[in-house]
Amino acid sequence: MAAGLRRAHDRADVAVVGSGMGGAVASTVLAEAGLKVVCLEQGPWTRPEDHPHDDPDWEWRRLTSFSTAPSVRRLAEDYPLDTRDETSLMWNAVGGSTVVYTATWPRFRPSDFRKGTEHGWQPDWPFTYEDLGPWYERNDRDMGVAGLAGDPARPPRGPFQTPPVAPGPLARIAGRGFDRLGWHWWPMPVAIIAEDYDGRLACNNCGNCQSGCPRGSLGDVSFTHWPKAIAAGADLRPNCRVERIETGPDGRASGVVYVDRMTGTRHMQPADVVIVAANGIGSPRLLLMSESGRHPNGLANGNDLVGRYLMHHGLSIVEAWVDERTDTHKGIVSAALICEEFAETDPRRGFLNGCSLHIVRLNGAGYQALGSHSGNTAPWGAEHHATFRRRFAHGFGILCVGDDLPLPDNRVMLSATETDSSGLPAPKIEYRLHTNDQRLMDFAVDRAVDLAKACDAFDVNVNRFTSPDGRYAPPAWHLLGTCRMGSDPETSVTNQWGQTWDVPNLFVMDGSLLPTGGAVNPTSTIGAVVLRAASHLRDTFAEARVAKRTPAV
């Protein structure tokens, strides 16, 4: 046990680290089953009045104190990233990054679960799309998803909870461009409700989704899950930073040591089962910090795979400006449309895997004048007003999302130089795009430029988000793969239920589990995977509580 403990708590059935998508889903499932659940979150609650929506300088705050990047905010609840050029989306508060994400909600494709069989450069998942299908449906009902059924590019699915959010003129303009090219497109599913649902208000199309949603219209788990988990008895403790997972003489997890950031007091929370749900950077960081004589390389890391296979997705944005009004300062920032014409591997293209194209909006006037996502800054001086009038409300973005390969040298480690406000080592991150992924993203950008031209764009600007030497440059929005699940203890960190091979009562339940990243936003899939895993843990909890070894898949 760590030195200097001042307070020991009553034993819990489950200690959960992290209150974002994974932690909220797991805590809700287990608390509603009557288990004693304690969830520890290093950040505070984000109150409705904390969001900058009503402030006259809301766009400035969106880029500074309310930035989605902890390296920009530098708040006490954040931790720095020891990396050369990366800015990750991460919100350290109750709800995790669902507080400030775009709630873009597509599902992975069936082929994403069998890449090992398809081409061998990525592993097969330990289960199939069909296995996950019912959990996608249940997770959608819990979150509230807006969309249009019947997409022929997708397997059949259940009904959406609300119709699509207001498409605005942008959808008509982009849809016409897709039609000219003969490419398939469809309204993007989003966890943003277009009608009142489950006690939450419908979206009012204010256009400031990336500063979160004080109304609860966006699928923020502090609105969708935590009220239900707390009502069921879950003990959620904000401002509590976990510094290590303790293990007993038998090597099993015995609980977590955490620091109350408000008082500086260190605590020991004993638990029969520990769940790590601190995201694809925070979870491996905690496991690596929890080394001991029995686990000298960190917990669950006997095969040296914790922190490896980091995936972000390849990301590029092409922005276009057209003569017609697009009104991209109104409505949800998230994608209005999705095109999956190029989502599958086609060997004739010269690379593996595929990409999707998302039609996105451009935020407000100030953000657009500063260049929006692509750096096309309006000039200062005499030409500023004329340029701004020509572009504002006439632009849109085409976000290119590529399925990046999981590489062992793309990884999360512990920094030797950077620490957080509690003195704990920051994560050190190494990430480079594979040449395959660079070719994929070049292809995606070319297709986005084709689309811009088909929409009769008078100006097009490209941000490839890569540096000249091939390193990934900001933003690193998705944090996946660093505690990958699988069927073989030699090649994975956990089994299909998130149960670590080395420590049978230690589970991982977040994006770290995903063996592949697909070519779309992952939060829908993360929620479904965790809902499936947490439900299995609920149903087998008596065995997990005393298990001496992790069952094979």
CATH code where residue 125 lies: 3.50.50.60
Whether residue 52 has pLDDT greater than 70? yes
Residue pointed to by tokens 């993360």: 526
For the ranges 10-24, 53-67, 369-383, the lowest mean pLDDT is seen at 369-383
- The percent of residues in the chain predicted with pLDDT above 90, rounded, is 82
Predicted confidence band at 469 (pLDDT cuts at 50, 70, 90)?
Answer: low
Banded model confidence at residue 472, pLDDT cuts 50, 70, 90 = low
Cα separation, 522 vs 519, whole angstroms: 9
| Look-up of token digits 């100006």 | 459
**pLDDT band with cut points at 50, 70 and 90 for residue 4:** low
pLDDT at 372 over 90: no
Place of tokens 């608390």: 31
pLDDT of amino acid 519 = 97
| Under 8 Å between Cβ of 307 and 482 | yes
pLDDT at 62: 87
pLDDT in tens, 386-400: 999 999 999 999 999
Does 551 reside within a domain?
no
- Over the stretch 88-97, which tens digit does the pLDDT of each residue have? 789 999 999 9
228 contacts: CB under 8 Å, gap ≥ 6: 28, 32
Specify if 248 maps to a domain.
yes
Q: Give the pLDDT score at 205.
A: 93
Give the pLDDT confidence score for residue 1 in this predicted structure.
Answer: 43
Q: What is the pLDDT of residue 377?
A: 85
3-class SS of residue 522: coil
**Between 416 and 5, whose confidence is greater?**
416
DSSP annotation string for 155-180: ------SBPPPP-HHHHHHHHHHHHH
**Percentage helix, strand, coil for the chain under 3-state DSSP, each rounded to 5:** 30, 20, 50
CA angle, 89 then 467 then 458, to 5°:
85
User: Is 314 a domain residue?
Assistant: yes
In angstroms, the CA 426 to CA 350 distance is 38
Q: What is the pLDDT averaged over residues 189-203?
A: 97
Residue pLDDT, tens place only, 121-156 = 999 999 999 999 999 999 999 999 999 999 999 999
Residue 384 is assigned to a structural domain of this protein: yes
Q: Which residues of 459-485 are buried (b: 16+ CB within 10 A; e: fewer)?
A: ebbbbbbbeeeeebbbbbbbbbbbbbb
pLDDT of the residue at 548: 81
Domain that residue 258 falls in: 7-49+57-546
Does residue 552 lie within any of the structural domains?
A: no
Residue with the two structure tokens 């490896």? 308
Residue 538 lies in a domain: yes
Element (H, E) at 533: helix 523-539
Report the pLDDT value the prediction gives residue 370, as an integer from 0 to 100. Answer: 85
* pLDDT of 236 strictly over 50: yes
Please give the average per-residue pLDDT across 397-415, as a whole number.
Answer: 96
pLDDT at residue 468, as a whole number: 62
Q: Span 17-46, mean pLDDT? A: 98
204: tokens are 């009012």
The backbone torsions φ and ψ at residue 225, rounded to the nearest 5 degrees and listed phi first, read: -115, -45
Nearest to 475 by CA among 364, 360, 308, 384: 360
Query: Which pLDDT score is estimated for 270?
Result: 97
**Mean pLDDT of the chain, nearest integer:** 94
Q: How many domains does the chain have?
A: 1
Contact 257, 1 (CB under 8 A): yes
- CB neighbours of residue 338 within 10 Å: 25
pLDDT digits (tens, 9 = 90+) for 283-333: 999 999 999 989 999 999 999 999 999 999 999 999 999 999 999 899 998
pLDDT of residue 546: 87
Looking up tokens 């660079």, which residue turns up?
A: 438
Give the pLDDT mean for 44-64.
91
Q: Is 2 contained in some domain?
A: no
- Banded model confidence at residue 31, pLDDT cuts 50, 70, 90: very high
The model carries a pTM of 0.96
Mean pLDDT over 409-413 rounds to 96
Whether pLDDT at 470 is above 70: no
In a domain, 255, yes or no: yes
Write the pLDDT tens digit of every residue in 80-126.
Answer: 999 876 667 899 999 999 999 999 999 999 999 999 999 999 999 99
Containing 285, the helix (H) or strand (E) segment is helix 279-289
